Amino acid sequence: FVFSLLLALGCTVKYSGYLEHWDEPFCTNCYSKFPGLMKLGKDITLWGLEIGLLTMKKGEVARFVFTPDYAYGRQGCPPLIPPNATVMFEVELLDFLDSNESDAFFELTAEQQDTFPLQKVLKVADTEREFGNYLYRKRHFEGAKDRYKRAFSILGRSPSSEAERCQIDASKLLVLLNLSLTYLKLERPAQALVYGEKALEIDQRNAKALFRCGQACLCMTEYEKARDFLVRAQHIQPFNHDINNELKKLA
């Protein structure tokens, strides 16, 4: 349910963390006048803090108490954090990277979407892909797949020039590769193959796309097709560890 409340992929926060019965924080960034953008799952990895931030609004100040399972666990984080520690964080959410613009775009009719400038469309697609990447890293593959498909759905407009076609194709390629990988994680190799082949229509020498197609065919026990894709990928990246291991698995 937390991810249905997803409001921010990256955020600027002020925070201070305290142990029980401590007056001084064991960690804080409140001494910094201009805290930098921090990405959930990358710069902010404390599970309780991620969940807490996802419930907050811009400008809100909150205090959270996290049990060990949502903080530093049974082991703690020596020497500062003892085992099985309950911690308290005071947090101010200053700013965040949100999906408001993206959500507003998807509320428009198809005709209205077609009038959007290409650069704004590409920005919306990139925002959706970034949200998908966040959900993927959290192993919420269904949610990631839905975000990637939303991104792909708006990239079908007809380009007005060769330069626009190149921009659209570059954005499409990233989304198609992500979709292919996500469908493999969802154990739906037929769909992974479909999106991998769509990526190859844009770039027939894309080693990642060839590798994904090979993986999908291997999962479907289509061994000859798998070998063809993987050997083509190996010709492009002969020293790629993952490709070579997949060929060994196939053999």
Q: What is the pLDDT of residue 178?
A: 98
Q: Which amino acid is at 152?
A: F
49 in the same domain as 130: no
215 in the same domain as 131: yes
Contact 205, 231 (CB under 8 A): no
114 in the same domain as 95: no
For residues 111 and 113, give the distance between their C-alpha atoms in angstroms, rounded to a whole number. Answer: 5
Q: Tell me the DSSP string of 175-231.
A: HHHHHHHHHHHTT-HHHHHHHHHHHHHH-TT-HHHHHHHHHHHHHTT-HHHHHHHHH
Domain boundary among 99, 131, 158: 99
217 in the same domain as 120: yes
230 in the same domain as 114: yes
Q: Which two tokens stand for residue 133?
A: 């990447």
For residues 147 and 137, give the distance between their C-alpha atoms in angstroms, rounded to a whole number. Answer: 13
**Counted domains in the chain:** 2
212 in the same domain as 94: no
Domain boundary among 42, 72, 99: 99
213 in the same domain as 157: yes
Instruction: Specify the residue for token string 């949502």.
Output: 70
Domain boundary among 48, 67, 99: 99
Q: Which residues of the chain fall below pLDDT 70? A: 1-10, 34-37, 97-100
112 in the same domain as 57: no
3 in the same domain as 60: yes
Q: What is the pLDDT of residue 151?
A: 93
Which residues form the domain of 47?
1-99
Contact 73, 47 (CB under 8 A): no
Q: What is the pLDDT of residue 8?
A: 42
118 in the same domain as 88: no
Q: Which two tokens stand for residue 87?
A: 């911690």
CATH number for 62: 3.10.50.40
Q: What is the pLDDT of residue 9?
A: 56
Contact 243, 234 (CB under 8 A): yes
Half-sphere exposure of residue 72: CA atoms within 13 angstroms, side-chain side? 19
Q: What is the pLDDT of residue 34?
A: 63
Give me the phi and psi of 132, to 5 degrees please: -60, -40
Q: What is the pLDDT of residue 43?
A: 76
Q: What is the pLDDT of residue 100?
A: 64
Q: Which two tokens stand for residue 250?
A: 């196939």
115 in the same domain as 207: yes
170 Cβ neighbours under 8 A, 6+ residues apart: none
242 in the same domain as 136: yes
